[in-house]
Amino acid sequence: MRARGLTKRFGSFTAVDGIDFDLYRGEAFGFLGPNGAGKSSTMRMIGCVSPPTQGELTIFGADPVRNGAAIRAKLGVVPQEDTLDVELSVRENLLVYGRYFGLPRAVIRERTEQLLDFVQLSERAGDMVEPLSGGMKRRLTIARSLINDPDILILDEPTTGLDPQARHVVWDRLFRLKQRGVTLILTTHYMDEAEQLCDRLVVMDHATIVAEGAPRELIERYSTPEVLELRFDPALHEQAAEKIKDLFTERTEVTADRILLYSADGDEALTRVLAAGLEPLTQLVRRSTLEDVFLRLTGRRLVD
């Protein structure tokens, strides 16, 4: 898959502003960014249901506008909001979807068993979809998106709205798919999701790509190995921030409730903070994450 100058406008609003990316078989590729960064619009263009306003997009060597149906035959799509038919059973949802791709009943039946087993829903096969939990519905959507044995699986915020346990189950399943060689494209505003699943990712903000690379590579390039997080009494927060900026040469970021100090050695930095007479309420030394990369690149946090 290849995109050059890919642009999507809705009237005067530019949702995606001339982005470039390349995607290779078998990799897990992520679009990381806050809500409204243009991730979902990009996903819809890749899913061949949204013609680009400008620029070039090639999938399997074909044009998604002219050959949408042919390309979609080899895509699996997990949309941001579930589009399951809640009036049908779990199994029937897969049947209906398989039929859309013109698969014979016998093939659908066989794949349904395998896929429901894969997403751990075999016991609910005959149940209606409506009463299933959010996590189960998500897993069913993933199973459904795999019914046509796609070469590329597109996931738009696969775990948004799920509780932590359900998220981990979804991650585990997606990781297994990756192991099996399915190409994954996903959007997320969770940095932990991106770090867990993506071989390579782009960071999007305000309709453009601000950085590209492997998660560790991005962290190395845009952040320090460690971060010291300090929390002060809210009354002293600003004062402390000023003082730290004066005293330290390292990059600092001041968020609403914390001061982040980017340093190669967090413990050593903490010693200097304490030596300077500052008295944080809490302190935490941690490794840099993609959140820090995003903060560095955009000056804002991913999720607020």
Query: What is the binding site for other proteins (CB under 8 A)?
Result: 2, 10, 25, 44, 47-51, 53, 58, 60-63, 65-75, 77, 79, 81, 83-88, 92, 95-97, 99-102, 148
Share in percent of the chain as helix, strand, coil (round to 5): 40, 25, 35
3-class SS at 14?
A: strand
Identity of the residue, 84 or 273, whose beta carbon is nearer to other proteins in the bound complex: 84
Nearest to 153 by CA among 110, 122, 125, 187: 187
Paired strand residues for 56? 4
Minimum CB separation of residue 150 from other proteins in Å reads 10
* Nearest approach, Cβ of residue 101 and other proteins (Å): 5
Paired residues of 77 in beta bridges? 154
Contact 32, 180 (CB under 8 A): no
Q: Which is nearer to other proteins, 33 or 47 (CB)?
A: 47
CB of 25 to other proteins, least distance (A): 7
Compute φ and ψ for 121, nearest 5 degrees. -125, 15
Nearest partner of 199 among 186, 180, 189, judged by Cα: 186
* Two structure tokens written together for 166: 């359900």
Nearer to other proteins, 65 or 281 (CB): 65
List Cα–Cα distances, 61 to 1, 27, 68, 79, 209, in angstroms: 7, 17, 12, 24, 23
CB of 61 to other proteins, least distance (A): 4
Q: Closest separation between CB of residue 98 and other proteins, Å?
A: 9
For the chain, state the CA radius of gyration.
Answer: 22
Task: Write down the least CB distance from residue 291 to other proteins, Å.
Answer: 31
Element housing 122 (H / E) = none
Strand partners, 31: 187, 202
156 vs 292 by CB, closer to other proteins: 156
Shortest Å distance, C-beta 109 to other proteins: 14
Is the Cβ of residue 22 or residue 117 nearer to other proteins in the bound state?
22
Judged by CB, which is closer to other proteins: 36, or 258?
36
**Which H helix or E strand runs over 204?**
strand 200-205
Phi–psi pair at 23, nearest 5 degrees: -135, 135
Closer Cβ to other proteins, 12 or 249, answer by number: 12
